[in-house]
């Protein structure tokens, strides 16, 4: 289910996993095991996202994920806003709510996004 996203440098949405879906990906902190087939995995799973932020910068577009507590829940780099939105929709399916532009005057984008999550 694709959501229309207006072209803005910063977009936020709320993830509602009560739609009966589970995330298709898990994000981790740490380096994946390398070398031997049975090398130990010391990565730590990041929390499940509640809000998503898409932000276009000079370095590219970042899809950032945050838990309901505001804890960082992972990020990925993309070439464009539509590509980042498509990644979010792949990961969270019907749980992705409508996207909203973050007003230019908003300095604390995370607080703005979390407020939207609390409203839903």
Q: What percent of the chain has pLDDT over 90?
A: 32
Decide which of 110 and 118 is more confident: 110
Q: What is the three-class DSSP state of 16?
A: coil
pTM of this structure: 0.80
Residue 120 has pLDDT above 60, yes or no: no
Domain boundaries, the chain: 10-22+46-119
Q: What does the buried/exposed string (b/e) look like for 37-70 if buried means 16 or more CB atoms within 10 Å of the residue's CB?
A: eeeeeeeeebebbbbbbbbbeeeebebbbbbbee
Least confident residue range of 3-12, 14-23, 63-72, 75-84: 3-12
Residue 20 has pLDDT above 80, yes or no: no
Residue 45 has pLDDT above 60, yes or no: yes
List the structure tokens of 42.
Answer: 């010391």
């Amino acid at each position: 289910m694709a959501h229309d996203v207006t072209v803005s440098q910063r977009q936020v949405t709320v993830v509602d996993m009560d739609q009966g879906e589970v995330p298709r990906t898990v994000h981790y902190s740490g380096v994946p095991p390398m070398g031997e087939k049975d090398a130990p995995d010391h990565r730590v799973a990041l929390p499940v996202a509640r809000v998503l932020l898409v932000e276009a910068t000079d370095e590219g577009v970042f899809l950032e994920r945050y838990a309901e507590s505001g804890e960082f829940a992972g990020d990925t780099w993309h070439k464009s806003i539509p590509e980042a939105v498509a990644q979010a929709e792949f990961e969270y399916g019907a749980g992705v709510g409508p996207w909203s532009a973050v007003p230019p005057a908003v300095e604390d984008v995370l607080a703005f996004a979390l407020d939207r999550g609390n409203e839903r």
